[in-house]
Amino acid sequence: QVQFVESGGGLVQPGGSLRLSCAASGTFFAIYTMDWNRQAPGKQRELVARITSSNSIYYADSVKGRFTISRDNAKKMVYLQMNSLKPEDTAVYYCYAHNLFGADSWGQGTQVTVSS
């Protein structure tokens, strides 16, 4: 089973950018669909971006045009480039992996705070 560690979160002003990274350990990284989810205080966890093993991509309407998800299978890394950040983007961001065998794994989360 794979395990993940997120990094790259922090405090940024509205309109700024951050790049989140998710570093994988374990085996068969390339067969996993990789998601970025976020959870703001008092709100449900929501899917913001997804990239499949075949590089199909999905974005939530709230982030489309501002966020870009990518993966590097050789490095076993997943990235979320976040541009034009808004205060509404403030949340803990989680890396989540799942595959056709029903296996899944969550990262520990990284805090993103967008504030002036």
Residues 87-114 have pLDDT tens digits of 999 999 999 999 999 999 999 999 999 9
Residue among 15, 85, 17, 18 nearest 7 (CA): 18
Residue with tokens 């705070």: 113
What is the end-to-end Cα distance of the chain in Å, rounded?
Answer: 40
Q: Which two tokens stand for residue 56?
A: 């199909």
Asked whether the predicted pLDDT for residue 36 surpasses 90, the reply is yes
Q: What value does the CA radius of gyration of the chain take, rounded to a whole number of Å?
A: 13
Asked whether the predicted pLDDT for residue 39 surpasses 90, the reply is yes
Q: What is the structure's pLDDT at 9? A: 96
Residues 52-100 have pLDDT tens digits of 999 999 999 999 999 999 999 999 999 999 999 999 999 999 999 999 9
